[in-house]
């Protein structure tokens, strides 16, 4: 719901989350109700009673039982009600000054708070409107506030008694405090609404759009810049009567307008959601102990296997982020290292990975918005949240930019975690195809002719599908062809040759092999007019892929003839969804992306498509149109490492 408040910046969010947008209306209705609700004469200002869950007004009653019946969850719809009931009552009888914020509106003759936009406009265009007058008077008050702050809290305590006697509350701006009044350090904490907190969206002040020194209001979830006098957060505290703010950099919580820090243990859950941190021990257990967590509203989820918000067209990115966050060494690195001084791309990747694995999350999904904004900027809008891109193109860009962001070298291999995880070596042999070679000979290496040998490095291996036959079965349905993964991997067996620019080429992997192999099944071909898709199904067993036939034997690394086994950890699949049921034309199809992820702790497979996450049987994995696979090299038993035979 906090997201919806950002609708100025990202209007599509509300559209894509209709049910939550409705929630906003309900809350807004509640706020309006509370603003215009006639206050009973008997209630002192600022303490008009409370609203029940269904927004029915319950007149104030001194008796504790009535106070206890007040639904404290409804606090967010009633800006006059603050604090645990009895504590608040005591506080107000002692500190009447706090009513100043309510009185400000009455003074300026404004029934409802002016919109932030109009207030901003007024600030720049000068005090020519009613709002402008309001601003001027406020400015005066804030200037008084400065003086008051200097005078200190002593004055306040002295004249607070008589202020309270007076039903006409004196207009004075709130006093700044270095620390909470003794005994009231948790005063506003029960106004915090964890349901509206969403720290996944880019931290931009909802008014200035600045990303510097941003605080989140813990009552409504919106972001505001600064906490000093006249800052946007300060104004927000006065205008909306929201008082608790968290600094998005330091995770320190402050009460505004007073300005003191709250150091309550009860805020730890919020700090953790905003910036989850782990110990090495905790991270090591992710893949060993099956775990279940509960988000707000008792929603069950498995940390690490949560939905990812498809804000508009960013499913291509979601599947890649999900897949990479399950590459254990990469995940552990991003979860445990301190990237506070790293480039934004690295920092935001780390934060998103940490949120994916959060065992104490408020909601069972994450949103890649913050990371996406940075990616959009760094890639010059090549990858955005509003236009679908190709997951493998994105992966390639992402890995290269993470490599550079982590201080990796452009020339020296193995100079970043990205390369240490994915980079492998490839040997290629090429031979010119001479004019005399006939059609059947074109790809056969000639013994006599010169063979040029090259070696290169890769982060990703591309596999080609055989051309899909367009024959039909007796019922005239198209038959979807199948090909085993090992067949298309034979591109790298050092024997099978391909033709490329009048050269015949053959490839082979070279030791040492990377701990993770990323395989791209090339399914789409693009010509000038149309993007064509090959629907061939690639069959595979997710356990124990033997890649030894595709590796140049080297006894220094591996006993020749022994298998080299990899297990699948992530599989990105494509699904064509017909845009309209009545159209058979393939160009009317929409690409959608899903990712299958291995939960090592439970030894189960999970399929994730945006917010949807479910279990899937491992025998069914291959039925999708595999597009990208990440395989992890199986640890060899210690005996084998010493050079003895495999069991």
Binding residues for Zn ion, rule: CB under 5 A, are: 217, 219-220, 242
- Minimum distance from residue 210 beta carbon to Zn ion (Å): 17
Smallest Cα–Cα separation from 550: which of 565, 538, 531? 565
Torsion angle of alpha carbons 160, 165, 168, 169, nearest 10°? 20
Backbone phi and psi for residue 576, each to the nearest 5 degrees, phi listed first? -85, 125
Cα distances (angstroms) measured from residue 441 to each of 429, 437, 498, 504, 508: 17, 5, 12, 10, 21
SS3 574: strand
- Minimum distance from residue 106 beta carbon to Zn ion (Å): 21
Kind of pairing, strands 589-599 and 604-609? antiparallel
Q: Which is nearer to Zn ion, 116 or 348 (CB)?
A: 116
Widest distance between CA atoms in the chain: 108
Q: What is the DSSP string of 144-175?
A: HHHHHHHH-HHHHHHHHHHHHH-SS----PPP
- Minimum distance from residue 236 beta carbon to Zn ion (Å): 6
Residue with tokens 């709002």: 131
Q: Which is nearer to Zn ion, 5 or 301 (CB)?
A: 5
Q: Which is nearer to Zn ion, 217 or 608 (CB)?
A: 217
Backbone phi and psi for residue 55, each to the nearest 5 degrees, phi listed first? 70, 10
- Report the C-alpha gap between 317 and 595 in whole angstroms: 11
Cα distances (angstroms) measured from residue 88 to each of 76, 94, 155, 471, 493: 15, 10, 21, 78, 76
Q: What are the beta bridge partners of residue 51?
A: 57
- Minimum distance from residue 216 beta carbon to Zn ion (Å): 9
Q: Which is nearer to Zn ion, 219 or 607 (CB)?
A: 219
Q: What is the DSSP-derived secondary structure letter of residue 241?
A: -
- Minimum distance from residue 243 beta carbon to Zn ion (Å): 9
Q: Which is nearer to Zn ion, 1 or 335 (CB)?
A: 1
- Minimum distance from residue 219 beta carbon to Zn ion (Å): 4
Q: What is the DSSP-derived secondary structure letter of residue 173?
A: P
Q: Which is nearer to Zn ion, 5 or 422 (CB)?
A: 5
Q: Which is nearer to Zn ion, 245 or 516 (CB)?
A: 245
SS3 41: coil
Smallest Cα–Cα separation from 246: which of 276, 210, 274, 207? 274
- Minimum distance from residue 492 beta carbon to Zn ion (Å): 57
How many residues can be counted in the chain? 647
Q: Which is nearer to Zn ion, 219 or 238 (CB)?
A: 219
- Minimum distance from residue 280 beta carbon to Zn ion (Å): 37
Q: Which is nearer to Zn ion, 217 or 461 (CB)?
A: 217
- Minimum distance from residue 97 beta carbon to Zn ion (Å): 21
- Minimum distance from residue 1 beta carbon to Zn ion (Å): 12
Q: Which is nearer to Zn ion, 132 or 259 (CB)?
A: 259
- Minimum distance from residue 244 beta carbon to Zn ion (Å): 9
Q: Which is nearer to Zn ion, 206 or 350 (CB)?
A: 206
- Report the C-alpha gap between 194 and 280 in whole angstroms: 28
Smallest Cα–Cα separation from 595: which of 577, 568, 559? 568
Count of C-beta atoms within a 10 Å radius of residue 249: 13
Q: What is the DSSP-derived secondary structure letter of residue 478?
A: B
């Amino acid at each position: 719901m906090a997201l919806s408040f950002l609708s100025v910046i990202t209007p599509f969010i509300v559209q894509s989350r209709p049910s939550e947008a409705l929630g906003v209306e309900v809350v807004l209705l509640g706020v309006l109700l509370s603003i215009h609700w006639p206050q009973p004469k008997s209630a002192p200002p600022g303490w008009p009673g409370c609203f029940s869950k269904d927004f029915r007004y319950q007149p104030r009653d001194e008796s504790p039982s009535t106070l206890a019946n007040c639904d404290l969850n409804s606090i967010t719809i009633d800006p006059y009600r603050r604090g645990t009931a009895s504590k608040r009552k005591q506080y107000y009888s002692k500190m009447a000054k706090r009513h100043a914020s309510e009185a400000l509106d009455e003074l300026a003759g404004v029934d409802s708070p002016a919109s932030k936009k109009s207030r901003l406009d007024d600030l720049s265009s000068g005090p020519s409107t009613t709002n402008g007058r309001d601003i001027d008077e406020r400015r005066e008050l804030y200037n008084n506030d400065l003086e008051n702050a200097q005078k200190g809290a002593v004055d306040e305590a002295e004249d607070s008694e008589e202020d309270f006697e007076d039903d006409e509350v004196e207009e004075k701006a709130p006093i700044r405090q270095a620390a909470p009044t003794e005994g009231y350090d948790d005063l506003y904490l029960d106004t915090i609404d964890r349901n509206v907190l969403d720290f996944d969206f880019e931290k931009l002040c909802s008014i200035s759009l600045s990303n510097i020194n941003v605080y989140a209001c813990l009552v409504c979830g919106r972001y505001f810049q600064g906490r000093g006098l006249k800052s946007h957060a300060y104004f927000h505290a006065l205008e909306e009567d929201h008082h608790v703010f968290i600094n998005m950099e330091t995770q320190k919580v402050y009460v505004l307008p007073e300005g003191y820090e709250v150091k309550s243990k009860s805020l730890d859950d919020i700090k953790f959601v905003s910036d989850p941190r782990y110990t090495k021990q905790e991270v090591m257990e992710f893949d060993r102990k099956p775990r279940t967590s509960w988000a707000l509203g008792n929603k069950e989820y498995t940390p690490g296997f949560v939905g990812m918000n498809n804000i508009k067209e960013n499913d291509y990115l979601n599947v890649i982020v999900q897949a990479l966050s399950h590459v254990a060494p990469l995940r552990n690195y991003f979860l445990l290292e301190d990237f506070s001084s790293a480039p934004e791309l690295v920092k935001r990747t780390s934060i998103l990975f940490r949120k994916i694995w959060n065992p104490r999350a408020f909601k069972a999904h994450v949103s890649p918005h913050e990371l996406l904004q940075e990616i959009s900027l760094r890639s010059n809008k090549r990858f955005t949240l509003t236009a679908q891109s190709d997951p493998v193109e994105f992966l390639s860009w992402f890995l290269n930019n993470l490599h550079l962001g982590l201080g990796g070298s452009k020339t020296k291999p193995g100079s970043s975690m990205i390369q240490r995880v994915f980079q492998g070596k490839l040997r290629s042999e090429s031979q010119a195809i001479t004019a005399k070679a006939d059609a059947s000979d074109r790809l056969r290496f000639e013994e006599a002719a010169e063979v040029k040998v090259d070696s290169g490095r890769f982060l990703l291996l591309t596999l080609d599908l055989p051309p899909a036959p367009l024959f039909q079965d007796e019922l005239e349905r198209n038959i979807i062809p199948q090909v085993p993964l090992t067949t298309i991997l034979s591109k790298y067996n050092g024997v099978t040759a391909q033709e490329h620019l009048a050269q015949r080429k053959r490839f082979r992997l070279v030791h040492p092999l990377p701990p993770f192999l990323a395989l791209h099944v090339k399914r789409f071909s693009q010509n000038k007019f149309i993007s064509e898709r090959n629907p061939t199904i690639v069959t595979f067993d997710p356990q124990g892929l033997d890649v030894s036939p595709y590796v140049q034997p080297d006894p220094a690394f591996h006993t020749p003839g022994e298998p080299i086994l990899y297990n699948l950890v992530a599989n990105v699949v494509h699904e064509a969804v017909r845009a309209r049921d009545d159209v058979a034309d393939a160009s009317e199809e929409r690409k959608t992306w899903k990712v299958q992820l291995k939960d090592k702790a439970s030894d189960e497979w999970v399929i994730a498509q945006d917010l949807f996450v479910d279990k899937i049987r491992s025998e069914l994995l291959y039925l999708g149109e595999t597009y990208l696979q990440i395989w992890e090299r199986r640890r060899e038993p210690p005996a084998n490492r010493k050079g003895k035979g495999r069991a």
